[in-house]
Amino acid sequence: MKKIFSILNSQFSIIAFAFCMAMTACNTNNPEPKGNTITFTESDEIFPNPERGLFAQGYYTSANLNSHLRADVVNNNRNGENKMTLYLNSYYLTDYMESDIPQAFLDRLDSNMNALRKGGAKAVVRFSYKSSMDAKDKPWNATPEWIHKHIDQVGPYLQKNADVILCAQCGWLGSWGEWYYVDNGYKMNPTRDSDFEMRWEVLEHFLRVIPESRQVALRIPSYKMRWLKMHGDSAMTPLSEEEAYQNTIKARIAGHNDCFVSSTNDVGTYAKQEERDFWAADTKYTFMGGETCEKTKFSEGENAIKQMERYHWTYINKDYRESVTGMWRGDGTMDTIIRRLGYRFVLDKAILTPAPKVGEEFKAYFVLRNVGFAAPNNKRDVELVFVDAASGKKYVYPQTAADPRFWLPEEEHKFTLACTLNDMAPGQYKLYLNLPDPYPSIHDDPRFSIRLANENVWEEETGYNYLTTVNVE
């Protein structure tokens, strides 16, 4: 379906237009400005978008250092049926429980990150020591001394490759890094505050070595709630909008659920309703993802979608558990999940400054909906881009008034972008909205820019979303 262009030719008040357009965001109580209005048509197409969706699991062990992620595999998965742009890369340090991580293992970590960058995807990363809860495989994790040494060793590689990391799962403790089957000085089933101190040392150390722009996920909500209580928040208050995305431990602790919709309490993920309510509120501003682990009546598609909405899911394992994901594919639920995991932005309309002139201010007022389960939780640039229709020359105007991390699901968002049209000559220009990654290494790679869920807007070669053509006088 073609985009509908509706140009309002009626008289308008310049004063009223300028007043409303000057606002950073117009809420529903403010009248829309007058100007040239363009309306857009929503698309139900399934397409790849960065930092959300199904993920593939990668296991990288100390026993096989020749196992690497390949850029061609990443690219093929991106263009395949699942339109996949995420991986959960789990690194098992089984053979290094009493030694340094060798350089070959660290080089493989770096190589995998390069493959993601070349292939157009990002990873959730996790480090642990064992993938078994059998007593014969104890110890399940290294001693505190070696864990902290290993955290320091991987830190520089995580800093170097921050651009292709979605988030991290805290890991390090227990089988699979899930903090339950723990030993070597760490207490199973901790109950007293003192039982948690060694765990917090791991969490806080890991937060120090990974890029401050990235979140670290804990396996169950009670861990974050306990951390808050032990650090002065007796009410265990979920993140507020004002606290979100600050460089604080509270703002950087996310969650992951690896037994999603698998029982009444997701196999121990929740102990009481208070924990469910906490995660439902806190994940408005933090990542949530994971996998299923059992097929039960709770796994049925309708409930899975309801729970993904409530807990703001961004990513889920495409394969595990196959009995559940297979059921979702069979009943048609999976297509909805693929579309809605993370953010999905639909632009309804834009109202533009009429008769824009060189050297004067141009404003664009947008009405946008997020029909996904979550907002993007990593910083995202916003740009207005003018491209000369005759010469192809680009004029890029970065914006600071809009922050996509606050474009929450199930809400309509109204905001204004503005720029002064300096250095341009009069003529015809194509106008775009660009939502690129802020990291310079991938900022200009269209695979890492956000595509709007609208008909006839996406320009694949640039990663821009086409709005209209304007005549600049």
Q: Are residues 57 and 33 in the same domain?
A: no
Q: Are residues 38 and 78 in the same domain?
A: no
pLDDT mean across residues, the chain: 94
Listed residues 340, 365, 384: the one ending a domain: 340
Q: Are residues 397 and 313 in the same domain?
A: no
Asked if residue 293 lies in contact with residue 239, where contact means CB atoms within 8 angstroms, the answer is: no
CATH number at residue 148: 3.20.20
pLDDT at 132 over 60: yes
**What is the total count of domains within the chain?**
2
Listed residues 274, 308, 340: the one ending a domain: 340
Q: Are residues 331 and 275 in the same domain?
A: yes
Region at 455 (left for phi over 0; alpha for psi -120 to 50; beta for the rest): beta
Between the CA of residue 335 and those of 9, 46, 72, 274, 339, what are the distances in Å? 41, 8, 25, 31, 6
pLDDT at 12 over 70: no
Two structure tokens written together for 271: 């102990």
CATH number at residue 35: 2.60.40
Q: Are residues 262 and 361 in the same domain?
A: no
The confidence band for 10, taking pLDDT boundaries of 50, 70 and 90, is very low
Asked if residue 169 lies in contact with residue 177, where contact means CB atoms within 8 angstroms, the answer is: yes
Asked if residue 128 lies in contact with residue 93, where contact means CB atoms within 8 angstroms, the answer is: yes
HEC secondary structure over 147-159: HHHHHHHHHHHHH
Asked if residue 270 lies in contact with residue 300, where contact means CB atoms within 8 angstroms, the answer is: no
Mean local confidence (pLDDT), 431-445: 98
Q: Model confidence over 270-306: pLDDT tens digits? A: 999 999 999 999 999 999 999 999 999 999 999 999 9
Contacts of 236 (CB under 8 A, 6+ apart): 225, 228, 229, 278
Asked if residue 440 lies in contact with residue 422, where contact means CB atoms within 8 angstroms, the answer is: no
Q: Which domain holds residue 65?
A: 53-340
Listed residues 308, 340, 372: the one ending a domain: 340
Mean local confidence (pLDDT), 454-468: 98
pLDDT value for 30: 58
Q: Are residues 139 and 169 in the same domain?
A: yes
Q: Are residues 181 and 257 in the same domain?
A: yes
Q: Are residues 80 and 40 in the same domain?
A: no
Q: Are residues 306 and 379 in the same domain?
A: no
pLDDT value for 8: 31
Two structure tokens written together for 278: 């906490």
pLDDT value for 31: 77
Q: Are residues 118 and 256 in the same domain?
A: yes
For residue 331, count CB atoms less than 10 angstroms from its CB and return exposed for 0-12, middle for 13-18, buried for 19 or more: exposed
Q: Are residues 295 and 227 in the same domain?
A: yes
Q: Are residues 410 and 365 in the same domain?
A: yes
Q: Model confidence over 442-454: pLDDT tens digits? A: 999 999 999 999 9
Q: Model confidence over 144-191: pLDDT tens digits? A: 999 999 999 999 999 999 999 999 999 999 999 999 999 999 999 999
pLDDT value for 13: 33
HSE-up of residue 430 (Cα within 13 Å, Cβ side): 17
